[in-house]
Amino acid sequence: MANEVELKLSLPEYAVSNMLAMAEQDGAVLGEYQGDPLMLDNQYFDTDDLALNQSHAALRIRKSQHGYKQTLKNKGQAIAGLHQRGEWEYDIDQAEIDWSLFPEELKIDPDLKNAIKPLFKTDFKRHVWIKQFGDSKIELVLDQGLILNQHKQIPLCEIELELLDGTPQDLFAFARELAQQLPLVPCDINKAERGYGLEANISFYSAPSFSGQLHTDIDVNVLLQDALTRINRHWDHFSQTKDWWSLLVLSRHVQATEFVISSVYESGCQLSKDMELVLESWQSLKHQLVDLLAPARVVMALFVDDHSHSRGLSQRLLQNLTGSLNDSIQSWMGQNSLGQSLLILGQFLYEHGEALGQNPQVSKPVTAQLWQDFEQLKQRSLDMPVQVFSELQSVQTLAYFHKRFEHNAYSLINDLVRQHLVVMGMSDAMAICVITDEDSRAKLASWSRRITVEQRRLQAVREQLKDQL
């Protein structure tokens, strides 16, 4: 068995031509090109009840210009797109599984062998480069094609950096160098998971439980690793669907992650100095997302307002804003702050995560800072829109942690978040100029005139939350 170590990164299809052009202009950037691209036809197998999937394994036969290979992989673990897993791979003469090649210690159930059948395919073109980086030898792979079954298909475009020899730290360092030139974002969703997703609503992600830990020491390493996974999965969903609500959720995860990083940094622990770059990148990312989503605040407010029948108006407004929002995100993607921030934190956790998780000096400040923020929140006046917005960020962070820690106050805190969004959206409403038809403008004006009522509701929810907490 080989222990495969690779870093998986998503790449927008529009950037493929830029990457290939970059390789032609300066071959040293990507490494030594390995000749003509491979045309890979991959058939994945499982049983009707998806027994392999349930055991976190994937079985495939790959056909290329060089023949056939059968491969069995187990899930292993992933940190910020870095995958470490077991892999058994063998050359075969034809597109049929040869069970005798797998070692006996795998103890493959005979019933499973009889029940295996073709499930889905991944067909793609693969470009390969070999890069000597630091003390490591790295294989850089660009895969572009389709994932499909009998009923539907989705596009595939990703980069894999596989460690052939050397250290995982060099994988992160090389990826960070590439991410300064290409919009690469770490991703822990592999081809098999995407293929299974065509069959059913299946995810390989299993969330750790933090239930009941809000007032206790928490494993900050596990918390941050889980945040990285959630963020890259929300980004992947947005990339596939262009659903702005996914980007809103991602923004809240980023905000909470920055809060944890800041709390650890300010704790003065031994690792604080090593976190300066991490904190700087995540603070910048948080502010960028706030600015990026600002034009959509009225849309969000209309959508979450339980006291309004303005969902239709919300959809019309979003349609009118979509063009400018897409232009803004395209420009933001070019900066690739998300990809670089994920890689910087991922590299830090790979190198220092164990020490971080075992350090009580950093676990206590996170929850302590949460309550300090809430005490300050209770003293604020909400007379000015800027104060409403400032409090919203604090309340969103509170909501995030109460949800992650399965605290019963989450529902009420989430109500406060929604009420903040409504008041802030009403404050912004009349500055919106993308709605031109008179009926929609009249409805928007009527909606925003309820701001005084909604401000009173906001204050009432605040008082209720103060009493409960």
First-to-last C-alpha distance (Å) of the chain:
53
Whether residues 35 and 143 fall in one domain: yes
SS3 438: helix
242, 385: one domain? yes
Give pLDDT, residue 379. 61
Query: Collapsing DSSP states into helix, strand and coil, what is residue 336?
Result: coil
pLDDT at 147: 96
Cα angle, residue 24 at apex, residues 20 and 28 outer, rounded to 5°: 105
12 by Cβ neighbours in 10 Å (0-12 / 13-18 / 19+) ranks as middle
With respect to residue 209, please indicate whether it lies within any of the assigned structural domains.
no
In sequence order, the β-bridge partners of residue 5 are: 84
Q: How far, in Å, CA of 426 to CA of 335, rounded?
A: 31
Residues 398 and 343 in one domain: yes
Say if 361 falls within a structural domain. yes
In a domain, 211, yes or no: no
At how many degrees (to 10) do helices 311-335 and 297-304 cross?
140
pLDDT given at position 466: 75
Split into its structural domains, the chain has a count of 2
Query: Strand 38-46 to strand 32-33: parallel, antiparallel, or no bridges (unpaired)?
Result: unpaired
What pLDDT does 202 receive? 80
- If asked whether residues 185 and 226 sit together in one domain, one would say no
pLDDT of 325: 85
204 domain-assigned: no
Helix axes 276-293, 311-335, angle to 10 degrees: 140
Q: What is the dihedral of CA 68, 74, 78, 81, to 10 degrees?
A: 20
- What type of residue sits at position 140? L
Together in a domain, 150 and 261:
no
Contact in structure between 41 and 124 (CB atoms under 8 Å)? no
- My answer on whether 154 and 292 are in the same domain is no
Whole-angstrom distance, CA of residue 420 vs CA of residue 378 = 14
Contacts of residue 408, Cβ cutoff 8 Å, sequence gap at least 6: none
User: Does residue 202 sit in helix, strand or coil?
Assistant: coil
Let me know whether 20 and 140 are in one domain.
yes
Q: Are 253 and 238 in contact (CB under 8 A)?
A: no
Q: Please give the chain's pLDDT, 469 residues, in tens.
A: 456 788 999 999 999 999 999 888 777 889 999 988 999 999 999 999 998 888 878 899 999 988 999 999 876 555 555 655 678 999 999 999 999 999 888 888 888 889 999 999 999 999 999 999 999 999 999 999 999 998 899 999 999 999 999 998 999 999 999 999 999 999 989 898 899 989 877 888 888 888 877 666 778 888 899 999 999 999 999 998 888 888 888 999 999 999 889 888 887 777 777 889 999 999 999 999 999 988 888 888 888 888 766 677 888 888 888 888 888 988 998 899 999 999 999 999 988 888 887 777 776 666 666 667 666 665 655 554 545 556 777 788 888 888 888 888 889 889 988 998 898 888 888 676 666 678 888 888 888 888 899 988 988 888 887 777 6
How many whole angstroms separate alpha carbon 106 and alpha carbon 100?
11
User: How high is the pLDDT of residue 1?
Assistant: 47
249 shares a domain with 194: no
Domain residues for 33? 2-199
Q: Is residue 207 part of a domain?
A: no
Say if residue 277 is in the same domain as residue 173. no
- Token code pair at residue 150: 């009998």
Could you tell me the pTM of the whole model? 0.88
